[in-house]
Structure 1
């Protein structure tokens, strides 16, 4: 079984299409392998060895996909968000101890400024749009002594990402070549991907979801990936018509935006039948899952993933097994159990979701305290604590109740934000909702909800709260409902519960 990214790509027919993009010819698997050879030669000539770290700051699109795939066969990749500001680049580049930065040929923004200040080598990437999608050349600035030849092996780090750092300093997550290969093969198996499949990628490629689920899993199957230049609901169906995908993967907020445009694009949907749709990286409301399935006449495969697991942990199965709204599915690679939230032991019933398997990071870099809290040994395996609470039902489906740190503690009464979300999403006027904790001077925390109304609909704070009161115990009913045009989201399109009260100006007594 393949244990490196290079080994995943090696067996596929050279003539098969691999990477596509709007208005571009397809890059074949043979072309992708040739590109990897040229990139390796460029890196070695620039003094970058197999264990050196290379930060990547590129716009979404085919070159970002091929830069990751080819650089990860020659060195250690560290993709970063192109939207970061100077101080963020200074922090991440210093924290990564990267040796080089890859940017577009004409880039002169904060990433270059931060890298120059850190003494890093700048590698400029040039593209000829007349060539197939994803082909590029690297041009290093300055001189360097060549690095020795060498090929990353299964136990070497392939990809470094940071945790989100919502409530603490971001942690460095090193992912090995073997982690990437295992996760890509897990996703290939869960989705039954073959050379006949084509993924339309709209996910950002500085994020584990797009890098592994869309790109790496497709390449592991000999399938093709059509890379959009980011997510745009107004352009999605035009891309769908051009790419003719068999599936796409996205976060729930993207799916909801796509649904809002679907009625006026019924002809494209009918003409481009999907084998399935995939959702991950945040909880998909059951109502949205049903609407997607009805709109596209295809199963919706909700999966559960996180960076430390090289993305996927569980996945709703393909037919003939059931896709259960509100569940993140069955084990799809690693072992999945629940553990006591304070003691290092496995339990039955509701508890902290823990995983063990070949796709799990060996541990946070330079953070022994976090590793001691996040990993433990039990029943002959090393388990990683996900920080999520949930339970596995009799059929093996995992149902999450929320992030442990997002569970609302209202004077000792514990409330799952996901439960409240699910109830409010049944209100006919509500399009999006995120339930969150609001500070309270006596109870510690109180329940609040941010709501976006459906187009053409109206509802008041009181009407929404009264609706919730017919379905929820009194202590779970939001005491504050904030009506918004748009809910604040993170860089990958996920709605952020933690810190939302502060963002919306809801302090104690609000």
Structure 2
């Protein structure tokens, strides 16, 4: 790992004239140009008094400039990407919580973050795009002298993100240069990435999945990332044909939307074969994985990631056995299963998934209470429940806080998701807890039917009863046109009953 522990070393991997950052309709930014851009960007930050360890908030549209800004700013400072769709009150919270030394926005793009930053006395730097995909200059901001100029060292902070909390205040997750470099190396090794690969990025670039799995791992392998404005199921196949990537990575809801339009785009799928497809950030139902592999004729590699691990923790192998319903073998950090008392459990036993390794955060910022709960004898507790099977594959049974407690009987939402998704008429299924007066919680499910399919609640419950214990069969099935999703495309399990106005 000695040569891959900082952004600066990762940006030196590709052949000088080879594309590093691409975008539809624009000339690419080469690896040599990206290295030069990183040096110029760090110098520009230093001239404004911003150096190693100082935070720079980024509010940019999805695309090549966002990808390049992350790589180049993080080479000499700490980046804090924020969702450009946030409202003023959201920006106010996050900017006050992060205390950045500057905010980077794109010239000509309206965002309430600009006014919020100015009101808080945070200097605003304008990113001005160049001709090549991802090329830019920074303008504005006061001059200054940084305490620590130059390129960042491996233990210095590179990226800071907030956890996606449901009700509690989100926690700040600092990730070092070493953390993100290690994760990019793990992903590259898992996927056998090379200079010949190009990833079509459809993930939001304020999220760890897109930043590390799509952008950083591609550049670190000497390959290219093709940056799109974001996910659009209607444009996806046109982009595949125009850009001819070798792979893409996405969350399951995106894959399911892509699968839904596969039949009418069969000719493009045949003309532009992908080497593999990657899925992460939420569990992929086994039937969907099998359908994707059949339709695209390539491996679908399901991986398991989270922010605190700089993304990847486990992954199904590219070659060999890929188990539908499993998130794969340890793929970077050590993975264990821990009981409530902190003891490690043998294979086949269910407990909390724990990890440790060079990609794992050293701890939440200014939150000793959360750190005391999250770390045990050097292991990070993920909050996920699961087990390692006889072959060492990790099977997740759900988030501990999402496990449904039906009068003392525990129900894994992921198990119910998998069973419902196996019905030929079901396009998407999400199991969730419904408040119940006597049992505490009851099992509910939200279902999106395939185009043209007809299915009643009773028929689906009868189907589930063939594969599940009686207490796990959903008592209420709600048919929806679309299941509510979060900003990164994840289905929103917690709070869904309240959102739908359900109780029993």
User: What's the TM-score once normalised by structure 1's chain length?
Assistant: 0.96
User: What's the TM-score once normalised by structure 2's chain length?
Assistant: 0.97
Q: Cα distance, 1:345 vs. partner? A: 1.8
Q: Equivalent residue of 2:27, what SS?
A: coil
- 2:14/2:223 contact within 8 Å kept: no
Partner of 1:200: 200
Partner of 2:27: 25
Alignment of 1:328-407 (within 5 A): 328-340=327-339, 342-348=340-346, 349-377=349-377, 382-407=378-403
Q: Equivalent residue of 2:184, what SS?
A: helix
Does the alignment pair 1:502 with 2:498? yes
Q: Cα distance, 1:100 vs. partner? A: 0.8
Q: Equivalent residue of 1:406, what SS?
A: coil
Partner of 2:451: 455
Q: Distance in 1 between matches of 2:462 and 2:393?
A: 32
- 1:240/1:272 contact within 8 Å kept: yes
Aligned counterpart in structure 2 of residue 75 of structure 1, from 68, 74, 77: 77
- 2:43/2:150 contact within 8 Å kept: no
Partner of 1:420: 416
- 1:204/1:492 contact within 8 Å kept: yes
Q: Cα distance, 1:99 vs. partner? A: 1.3
- 1:46/1:140 contact within 8 Å kept: no
Q: Equivalent residue of 1:424, what SS?
A: helix
Q: Distance in 1 between matches of 2:128 and 2:212?
A: 25
Q: Equivalent residue of 2:264, what SS?
A: helix
- 1:72/1:159 contact within 8 Å kept: yes
Q: Equivalent residue of 1:218, what SS?
A: helix
Partner of 1:86: 88
Equivalent residue pairs, number? 499
1:375-402 CA-partner distances (Å, limit 9, x unpaired): 011xxxx100011111111111111111
Q: Cα distance, 1:477 vs. partner? A: 0.9
Q: Cα distance, 1:470 vs. partner? A: 2.3
Aligned counterpart in structure 2 of residue 467 of structure 1, from 459, 463, 473: 463
Q: Distance in 2 between matches of 1:443 and 1:243?
A: 53
Q: Distance in 1 between matches of 2:315 and 2:134?
A: 30
Partner of 1:111: 113
Q: Distance in 2 between matches of 1:113 and 1:346?
A: 50
Q: Cα distance, 1:11 vs. partner? A: 3.5
Alignment of 1:204-283 (within 5 A): 204-283=204-283
Partner of 1:35: 37
Partner of 2:52: 50
Partner of 1:299: 299
Partner of 1:437: 433
Aligned counterpart in structure 2 of residue 486 of structure 1, from 482, 488, 501: 482
Q: Distance in 2 between matches of 1:109 and 1:218?
A: 29
Q: Cα distance, 1:408 vs. partner? A: 0.2
1:48-105 CA-partner distances (Å, limit 9, x unpaired): 1222100001110100000000000011100000111111111111111111111111
Q: Equivalent residue of 2:387, what SS?
A: strand
Structure 1 segments of 4 or more deviating over 6 A?
none
Aligned counterpart in structure 1 of residue 127 of structure 2, from 121, 125, 128: 125
- 2:48/2:146 contact within 8 Å kept: yes
Q: Distance in 2 between matches of 1:119 and 1:344?
A: 45
Q: Distance in 2 between matches of 1:108 and 1:186?
A: 37
Q: Distance in 2 between matches of 1:496 and 1:223?
A: 34
Q: Equivalent residue of 2:323, what SS?
A: coil
Q: Cα distance, 1:463 vs. partner? A: 1.9
- 2:433/2:442 contact within 8 Å kept: yes
- 1:202/1:250 contact within 8 Å kept: yes
Q: Equivalent residue of 1:346, what SS?
A: coil
Q: Distance in 1 between matches of 2:86 and 2:31?
A: 32
Q: Cα distance, 1:109 vs. partner? A: 2.7
